[in-house]
Chains A and B, each alone.
Chain A
Amino acid sequence: MAKSYQPLNVNTDVTTTRTLLHEVIPLTGTIISGTYGVFPDEENIKNYTHGQFQSVYDYPYLSSSANHIFDLTLGIQSGSSLSASTNTQMAKKANMYNEYAQLLLGYDKAQNIEAFESDVNVADDDNQMQDCFFISLSRLLTKDQIKKGTFSIELGQGAFDNAHLSTITLTDTGSSETAGFALGRPGGDYAVLYDSTASLSTQIPTSSYGVIFYQAGVVVLSSSVFNTASGGGVITDFASGAITQTGAAPDTGPGRDASYMIATSSISGTCDALRHRIKNISFNNSTEINSTIYFCRMPVNQFNYSSNPTYTNASKIVVKNVASDLPVSYVTTIGLYNASNELLATAKLSEPLRKDPTNELTLRVRLDY
C-alpha cells in the first residue's frame, strides 16, 4: 500500500486533550428496599457474619446479573455521647468511624484522626459529626468520580410505616467543578450536603447534614438528620417494629429515634432502618478520556500519488485520461509509524477523500486511551 511518510512535529502536529464522559445514575428507593422480598430481608441485601456493613445490590445478589451498587454502615466517634462501651457492637462502630476518617480525612498535626464535620474545614474542629452513616458507592457507578454539583439524596421524613409521606432532599448544590468544595484530603475533593430547601445564602451548618467525597464515592450522613426535632434534626420515629424488636412486624412497635438505634441496635439493623428511608439517590459520574490528537498534514504537492496496485494499469494511472491531467489520489487510511518506520496503528476515514495538487488537507487523528 501507499508508503509516503510525513514526519510529525511534536510541537506543532501533536496535542493532547481530555474529554469527560458522564453517566446519569438514578437509584430509586424501590431498588434499595421493598422490591426483592419483604423488608428488611430482601434478596438484594447482603449481610455478613462480621456484621460491619451491609451490601446493597440492584437485583437479588445470588443472580449473576446483579450489580453491587453500594455498602451501608455506620460509625461512632470515640468522643460521642453515644460511645458507651456497653452499646451493641460499639467497638465495631468506633472502628468503622476511625477507618473512614483515616482514609478520607487523615490525621491532624497532633497525629490524631480528624473527625468529620458538616463544613469544609475539618481543621477548626467545629460542627463535628460524631455519629455518622456511610454510603460507599460502588466503583461501577462512580467511575473516576462523582460529578460535582449533581448529587442528591432524598430521605423520608414520615412515620416509619409511611416514611416517604414527606421528604428532605440533601444536595451538594453549592459545589461545582471550580468552587464550593474542599481538597487536599486523602479521600480527595469533598463538599457539604445541604438541605435543598435552604437558600444558598443561608447554607450554614444548621442546614448541612453530611459530606460527599467525590473521588472516593463515599457519602457521610450525620445521624442528626434523623434525630428528633429537639435533637437538632428533622425526623422522628426513625425506626420501629422489626428493626427494634425481634419478631415484630416492620410497621409496629415503639418508635425509636436515630440516636437510640445507633447506640442500641446492630449495624445491620440500623442500616435497614436507613434503607427504609432512602427514597432516591441520584448523581452523575465522570470518566476521563484522554486523547492524543495528531494533525496529519498533506501539502499541495504531496500525497497525490498512490502505490496501490490498482492505481496503475499498463503503466498508466487509471484516474488520469490524458497526460496533462493533474495527478489525483483518494485517501482512505492513515498509518501511524514509530521512529523505526514500524506501523503502530491505522486510522480509517469514513469515506475516501480526494487529494490532488489543487488542495491541501489536514486530517485530525484522535487516539483515545
Chain B
Amino acid sequence: MSLRKFGPNDILLNTLRTYSAVEYLIYDGKVYYNHSPNQSGTVSDNLLSVTGGALSLYEYNIDRKDGVNPYIYPYITKDSARSSFRTAGRTTYYNEFAYGDMITGSYPLEGRIDREYMTHPGARQTGSDVGLPVSSPGSTFAAAPIYPHFYALKNKLNYYTYLSEHYRVSSSFGGGWDKSNQAISLISVPAIMFGSKLKEGSISLKWYVSGTLKGELRDSKENGELIEVNRTGSNTGEVAGVVLYNEGFLLLTGSWAICDSPMELEIGAAADDPRWIHFGAGAYDGTTTATAGPTFASAAFGISFQAQSDTQAYTMFANAHRGKANYSNNPTYLQSGQTKLKRTSSMVYEENPSLKIKNFVSSSLLDYNAPFKRQTIISRIALYDKDKNLIGIATMANPILKDEDQDYTFKIKLDI
C-alpha cells in the first residue's frame, strides 16, 4: 500500500440539484400525498401507522399493532446531561422524574402538511394583559397572540418585500392592506417534504368544486406572488397570497368569490362562496363534512410544487501513474515458502531482502510460464485524511490489472 497525495486539480466539489414533484389532494378532512392511498398491512389496517398523507420518519413500525406486534419505541434515562424528549415538558421533567428514571417516547414521528385558518391573525387573548411598563406610563404589553404562527412569520414576510410588495404585512400599495386584520389560510409544508426549498415557478394551487376546476393560483412570476390564472372572471391576474419558498409556507389572503357556489367551508361558519382564504380546508384543521356541513363534500383542493434538494458531491481523481502503484503488501503477492526474516535477535531484526514476487503473468500457452512482469491487481482505493486516518474505502466492481507501463485514473464520487 502506498500513500499518494491528491493534487490541486484532483478534487472537485459540485452541487447536484434535484427536483422532485410533490402533489397533495385534500378532500373531506383527508390528505393524499403523491397519490398514495392508505395502505393496510396484514396485521394492521394502517401499514405505516401514520395518518394519511403523512411521512413516517425512519419508517420503523411497519405493519405493527399493539398486542400482536408491539411497537418499537425510544426511551432515555434521566441523568445529569438533562436530555429528554419534547413530550416531557420542563415541569414534568424536573418534578415527575427522578435520576435514573426512564422517559419514554413513541414512534412513528410523522411529517405532514398542516392548514390553519386565521380569521383575525393579529388578535390577542383578552383579559390577561401583562402589566409591564412600556414607553407610555400606564400602558401594558399586549397579551399572548391567538395565532402565534402569524406573529412568528411577520419578520420573514417583511424581509421578503424585496421580492414583492405583497409580502409586506401592512402596506398602502394598491388599495392597501394589513394582514393582521385579514383572514388568512396558512398552509405549512414540512421540510422533509420540500427538501432545500420550494422551487420558484413550480407552485400550483387548484380549487375544485364538485370535481370541476374553478380556480388556480400559480407563482408564475417566480417572485412569491400567488396569482390567479386560467379563469375568465374579473380577478384573473390578482394576487391571492404569497409563498415563503425557503420556509415552506403558503399564506392565502384572496377573499373574492371564485365562483357562485355557496358551501360550508369552515367549522361553525355559515355557507360561503369558494374563496382563497378557505383553500386547504380539511388539511388536519379538523374540517370535515361532519364538522362543517354536508356541502363541504363539494370542495377539493390540489397543491403541487417541485421540491428542490441540493446534494454536495465530491469527485476525486485517484491517479495510478506509469511506474507507480506496482507493488502490493498483500502477503500472497510474494512466492510462498520463503523465509521472511534474514536474522532476528535481541539486537537485530532484519527482513529477507531477496523475497521473490510471485509471477502471475498470464500465458496463453499450455504449461508455459510467461516471463515475469511487475504488475498488480487494484481492488480498492483507500482515502486518508492529512493525519493518515482512514476515512473511506472505494471498492471496484471488478479488480483492475495494472502493468508497470500503464496509467490509470480512478474517478471516485462521494455524496455528502
A81 CB-CB contact with B under 8 Å: no
List chain B residues, Cβ under 8 A from A22: 74-77
B353 CB-CB contact with A under 8 Å: no
Instruction: Give min CB distance, B201 to chain A, whole Å.
Output: 30
> Does B62 lie within 8 Å of A59, measured CB to CB?
yes
The secondary structure that dominates the B interface is loop
Partner-contacting stretch, out of B40-48, B91-99, B375-383: B40-48
* B 51-83 binary contact with A (CB < 8 Å = 1; else 0): 000000001101100001111111111011101
> Does A67 lie within 8 Å of B62, measured CB to CB?
yes
List residues 21-56 of chain A with CB under 8 A from any CB of chain B. Answer: 21-26, 28, 30-31, 35-36
B39 CB-CB contact with A under 8 Å: yes
Partner-contacting stretch, out of B130-138, B161-169, B209-217, B343-351: B130-138
Q: Which chain B residue has the least Cβ–Cβ distance from A289?
A: B83
> Does B74 lie within 8 Å of A21, measured CB to CB?
yes
Partner-contacting stretch, out of A89-97, A162-170, A315-323: A315-323
List chain B residues, Cβ under 8 A from A321: 133, 135, 137
Q: Which chain A residue has the least Cβ–Cβ distance from B133?
A: A321
Chain A interface category by residue count: 20 to 34
A363 CB-CB contact with B under 8 Å: no
> Does B47 lie within 8 Å of A35, measured CB to CB?
no
Residue in B47, B69, B133 whose CB lies within 8 Å of A26: B69
With A19-B83, A26-B69, A313-B135 as given contacts, are A65 and B60 in contact (CB-CB < 8 Å)?
A: no
* A 1-35 binary contact with B (CB < 8 Å = 1; else 0): 00000000000000001111111111010110001
Q: Which chain B residue has the least Cβ–Cβ distance from A22?
A: B75
List chain B residues, Cβ under 8 A from A59: 41, 47, 62-63
> Does B135 lie within 8 Å of A23, measured CB to CB?
no
How far is B68's CA from A22's CA once the two chains are assembled, in angstroms? 22
Residue in B59, B74, B75 whose CB lies within 8 Å of A65: B59
Residue in B39, B48, B73 whose CB lies within 8 Å of A23: B73
> Does A65 lie within 8 Å of B77, measured CB to CB?
no
> Does B72 lie within 8 Å of A65, measured CB to CB?
no
How far is B310's CA from A333's CA once the two chains are assembled, in angstroms? 28
Residue in B43, B76, B77, B134 whose CB lies within 8 Å of A35: B43
> Does A67 lie within 8 Å of B60, measured CB to CB?
yes
> Does A28 lie within 8 Å of B70, measured CB to CB?
yes
> Does B75 lie within 8 Å of A26, measured CB to CB?
no
List chain B residues, Cβ under 8 A from A17: 80-81
Q: Which chain A residue has the least Cβ–Cβ distance from B41?
A: A59
> Does B68 lie within 8 Å of A65, measured CB to CB?
no
New contact pairs (8) apart from A19-B76, A23-B72, CB-CB < 8 Å: A17-B81, A18-B81, A21-B83, A22-B74, A24-B74, A24-B75, A66-B62, A321-B135
4 nearest CB pairs, A to B: A19-B83, A26-B70, A17-B81, A318-B135
